[in-house]
Amino acid sequence: MIQGSCHCGSVQWSYEGVPDGATACNCSVCRRYGVLWAYDYENEGINVSGLTQMYICGDSIEFHFCPTCGCVISWRAQRASEDGRKRIAVNLRLAEPSVVADIPIDHFDGLESFEDLPRDGKCVTDYWF
C-alpha cells in the first residue's frame, strides 16, 4: 500500500498495491498543478479521507484539494460508469519519494490528441529534480 497526505496532514489517501505507472498529463489543468496521477476506483483501490474542496473542470472532472494548505489531492469522475464505479486518481507527489521513486512515468496528451503517449524510460524519481 502507498499512502500520501497534503502538507498540513488534514487530507490523506491510500492506494492498494503499487500502480504500474504514474501519469503525467499536459492538459490545461494538470500542467499547472504539476501532478503525477495513479488511477483506480473510489473506495476500491483508492481511499481518500479528510475534508476537501473541489474545482470542477468541464462536465466530468473534479479536482480535489486541501482547503487548508492547498495541495492537490485527487482527480475524481463526476459520474459513475455503467457498472456504478467512480474513477479516481491520487497525486503521487504527496507520497514519500522513496516509496514511489521507481514507478515508471506514463504520458497522456490531454491538451491535443487525448491519447496515451509512449513511455520514455523515466520514472517518478526523475521528476523530483
Within-domain flag for 124: no
Task: Report the C-alpha gap between 86 and 44 in whole angstroms.
Answer: 9
- The pLDDT tens digits for 39-88 are 999 999 999 999 999 999 888 899 999 999 999 999 999 999 999 999 99
| pLDDT surpassing 80 at residue 114 | yes
End-to-end CA distance of the chain: 25
pTM: 0.93
What is the C-alpha separation between 39 and 89, in angstroms, rounded?
4
What is the number of domains present in the chain? Answer: 1
Assign residue 74 the CATH number of its domain.
Answer: 2.170.150.70
Residue 128 lies in a domain: no
* pLDDT per residue as tens digits for the range 95-106: 999 999 999 999
